[in-house]
Structure 1
């Protein structure tokens, strides 16, 4: 069950990023402009998840 919860967090973050990119493009922003900060936004999103999942599935 914990693996499913962790996977759901990762998939939800990915989906939110994709939706945000599409929204920005639909609002008139160029794909190039969206791509410029896509990696930074993804990094920030997954950093949040990493802190939340800290300690999960860590071998000791």
Structure 2
């Protein structure tokens, strides 16, 4: 899941640049988008491999 989230972010960045956005425009919200993506991963994995 971690790799998939990372890859999705990279693919999105490439797609945005291909559509004409500048690297600076993509970078401006990259950290927030990464936080959102990894927050979703954290919620999805929150109970995984936890000893009871």
TM-score of the alignment, normalized to the shorter chain, above 0.5: yes
- What does residue 4 of structure 1 align with? none
Q: Distance in 1 between matches of 2:14 and 2:22?
A: 10
**Count of aligned pairs:** 52
Scaled by the length of structure 2, the TM-score of the pair is 0.89
Question: RCO higher in 1 or 2 (8 Å CA, sep ≥ 6)?
Answer: 2
| Residue 21 of structure 2 is aligned to residue 29 of structure 1 | yes
Q: CA RMSD of the aligned region, Å? A: 1.4
Stretches of 4+ aligned residues off by more than 4 angstroms: 57-60
Alignment gaps of 5+ in structure 1: 1-8
**Aligned partner of residue 29 in structure 2, secondary structure:** helix
Provide the TM-score with structure 1 as the length reference: 0.78
